[in-house]
Structure 1
Amino acid sequence: MTLRIFSIQHDRQGLSEVERVSGHIPGITERLQSFPDVNGAVVLGTCNRVEVMLETAADVPNHCLRALLNEGIDEQPSWDLFLGEAALAHVFRVAAGLDSMVVGEREIAGQLRRALMDAQDSGRCSLPLGIAVEEALKTSRRIARETSLEGAGRSVVNTGLDIINLPDWPSARVTIVGTGSYAGAVVAALRARGVRDIAVHSASGRGAEFAASHHTSHSPCLASALNGADLVVTCRGLGSTEVTVDDVAPGMRLLDLSLQHDVDPRVGSLPGVTLVDLAAIQGAVGPGYAEDSERAETLVRAGVAATMARLRARVVDPAVVSLRDTVLAMVDDEVARLPQRQLTKEDAALALRRLATRLLHIPSSRARQAAELGRTDEYLSAMAELYGIGDEPAVDPDELETGRCPVTDMKICDLDSTTTREAM
């Protein structure tokens, strides 16, 4: 079992790359389902990231998985790859919003939960991968309870709008430039503040379709779209400036939600003009939450450690199941050999001795083989590990009487009723 995450992130590859790869998510999901060595897959696509979370056979080459992910994508994405414990830590950080544009934002946890449910409903999610994501979500909820990061973790859009702080939102005229990842969230956030006059402009030609689907007006000309706007929100993220110094009127407010600047940064120095970008948003919420961020990181480390221990334990599940089936089959066989009459103490003792002899036969034979091969110390160490043979008893006698066996899930007192029931 190996956890792997192939990732495209807003701060590493850029929002335009996130948007480009997001368009191929349905094809990626189908290809992963058909690949035999992928045991489980959860695919998360948001405005800020694409995360392909996999649980695979250990010997699958990474280049094979990359080829699978890149199939059908013209320009090959530069995926970041996380493996093993690093992959698990990445899931936890994503779920907690620690890698988001605004640290602690809570939308990502809901998006990850929906991605997990989709994978489970379609039968794509393996048990280890489900455990990893569920535990990450639990830690995310704990961080929300035990820190105040949730207050800082409002969406990037709402945080930016809070900083802009128009005096009268319902009467404001707002222009959205671009139909990129944030555009839909911008429309929803503006409507939640009572804004009714929303226009959309897109140089890509998608503006009319976006405006129709989001019930806004469409401005095919940038100059007319900017003219008279109280607020301009840009969310293209294409790596080139769309709004220049010459486009901006005095008193205009602008919110640039692109990592690569849709608005010329010099606009911010114009008299009477307000420009808020992602750096300003992060700077506004970050300093006051340093202690909470440190607490969140501590919770993430603890959650990762506990989950890694749980996942490692699951590796021996097939061996434990086989051991349980073998031992219980021996018990059933000995029960079937009991005489069909009222059992005596001698009958029970004979049955137990036969069972003990059968259980000890293979370990005893292997002990002799180990001694002949000069592996005595190694074998004795294994015996101590498996059976608790050593200076100190492995199990307290009282605990043995009252506790349940991790293999059979039975208490010692259950044996009396089981034996009696089977013998009658």
Structure 2
Amino acid sequence: MERLALIGVSQRRGGSAALQAWNEWLQVRLEPPPGLLQEWVPLLTCNRSELVLALGEGVELEQLRQHLIPSHLPRGYAFAGEAALEHLARVAASLDSVNPGEDQIMQQVRAAFEAASAAGTVGPTTSFAFQNALRIAKRVRREVLLAPAQTSLFSLARPALEAMLPRPARVAVVGAGEMGSLAARSLAAVEGLDLWVVNRSLDRARALAERLGAKALGLEEFLANPPALDAVVAATPVAGLLGPAFFQKQPRLVAVVDLGMPKNVVPEAVRGAVLFDLERLQRLGEERRARLQADLARAERIVLEEVEQVVMEWAERSMAPAIARMREVYRRTLDELVGELVGPEMVERLAHRFAHFPVKGLRGLARWHGAEVAQTFLKEAGLWEAGRG
């Protein structure tokens, strides 16, 4: 756990420019200098770009940041040990999301872990962190209702968008991935909308459109000859996809929602329509966060309670071989002193009894002062290296 760390930026803690710069960096396959990292998992969403990692032996977090993060990037935030686990659990539970309680993030955290596992960059430290973060997130979702099912980033824009639109209205969702699909499903429930699903793969657009009773269009055709729209929602990985050429063909447009990372919409090209970009969505999210203050406080308490238990579990796991070694030393010593007077079973019981209080004290040291203090005791007693071996 001491080597667990997390670095990154988010929309809430760095803004769109920093987020986009980190996103571009982490999308390239990471090749860290030898010895700097032992394990790593990139976590990239439209709201955050983070790297969960295990530091190399003897490597300090600040040393890693200096050698790993390109100089042109914002430094971002950094967490180590217990704080890194707590942050990852808060992310997975959607407590750090632009829209608290949204469904996607836990799936994205799981998908990032699975992708890194397939790439061979996961090890015992990151595996332990992700498994526990996801377990904690499930408990938060089970016990605290922060948002209805299918809540997404788009949910922040929908009420205002719905109020702005004329009836009937024509709306296009560009992108049939996870984010675009959630937006399209949400819009399909609104009365009086003529919904279009646009995607680079026409087959994928058709599949989603058929499920929703919408129309489908390929991206190339859409950009060349778009239908007249009242609103457009963009959720693709393409920077500047919708620019001046597109908006010049949309005189009646009243609203534009940009859910993409990098930004899909060229802001300066939007004329006469309200642009719901990440900055506006963040403001809407902070307003919703204020209304959820009591529920968020309950969720935070669950995270802190669970993280404390996980840290204790990790400390005990790391000390288990040395504790077993301690009990073995007691057993051998007792066997030498009284083995001829009592049987092997009694020697074993006495060894466990004598080791009980030192083990209890070690667990207390690990809990209140950190595993490193307990490990120092074991090293001084000559038990740590033997136990680890």
TM range (shorter): 0.5 to 0.7
Distance 1:291 1:387, change over 3 A: closer
Q: Which structure has the greater CA radius of gyration?
A: 1
Report what 1:377 is aligned to: none
Secondary structure at 1:315's aligned position in 2? helix
The answer on whether the counterparts of 2:6 and 2:84 sit within 8 Å (CA) in structure 1 is yes
More deviation, 46-55/154-163: 154-163
Go from structure 1 to structure 2 and tell me whether the alpha carbon gap of 1:87 and 1:173 turns closer, same or farther (over 3 Å shift). closer
**Can you list the C-alpha shifts for 1:147-181, whole angstroms capped at 9, x where unaligned?**
22132871112442354235779x724275xx8xx
Equivalent position to 2:298, from 295, 298, 303: 295
Q: How many residues align?
A: 329
Distance in 2 between residues matched to 1:83 and 1:312, nearest whole Å: 15
Question: Identical aligned pairs, as a percentage?
Answer: 22
Paired with 2:83 and 2:124, the residues of 1 have a C-alpha distance of 19
How far did residue 229 of structure 1 move? 1.2
Q: Residue 257 of structure 2 is aligned with which of 255, 258, 264?
A: 255
Rounded to whole Å, the distance in 2 between the matches of 1:139 and 1:354 is 42
Are the aligned partners of 1:4 and 1:87 in contact in 2 as well (CA < 8 Å)? yes
Is 1:313–2:306 an aligned residue pair?
A: no
Give the partner amino acid of 2:139: R
- Cα gap change, 1:107 to 1:142, in 2 (>3 Å): same
1:175–1:199 Cα contact (<8 Å) kept: yes
Cα 1:118–1:348 shift into 2, 3 Å: farther
Q: Per the alignment, do residues 92 and 68 of structure 1 end up closer, same or farther by CA in structure 2, a change over 3 Å counting?
A: same
- Give yes or no for the alignment of 1:104 onto 2:101: yes
Match of 2:148 among 134, 148, 151: 151
Unpaired stretches in structure 2, ≥5 consecutive residues:
189-193, 206-216, 362-389
- For residues 43 and 243 of structure 2, what CA distance do their matches in structure 1 show? 30
1:35 Cα deviation from its structure 2 partner: 4.0
AA matched with 1:78: R
Structure 1 residue 97, shift from structure 2 partner: 0.8
Alignment match of 2:307 (pick from 276, 284, 304) = 304
Residue number in structure 2 paired with 1:22:
23
1:282 aligned to which of 255, 270, 285: 285
Shift of 1:62: 3.2
User: Which residue number in structure 2 is paired with residue 65 of structure 1?
Assistant: 64
What is residue 181 of structure 2 aligned with on the other side? 188
Distance in 2, matches of 1:162 and 1:151, equals 15
1:131 aligns to 2:128 (yes or no): yes
Q: What letter corresponds to residue 143 of structure 1 in structure 2?
A: V
TM normalised by structure 1 equals 0.60
Pick closer, same or farther for the CA change 1:233–1:301 going to 2, 3 Å.
same
Contact 2:150 2:182 survives alignment (8 Å): no
CA–CA distance in structure 2, aligned partners of residues 347 and 284 of structure 1: 72
Secondary structure in 2 aligned to 1:150?
A: coil
Report the 3-state secondary structure (helix = DSSP H, G, I; strand = E; otherwise coil) of the residue aligned with 1:174.
strand
Other-structure match for 2:373 = none
Does residue 54 of the first structure (1) align with residue 26 of the second (2)? no
Q: CA RMSD in A?
A: 4.8
Structure 1 unaligned runs (5+)? 201-209, 335-345, 364-382, 390-424
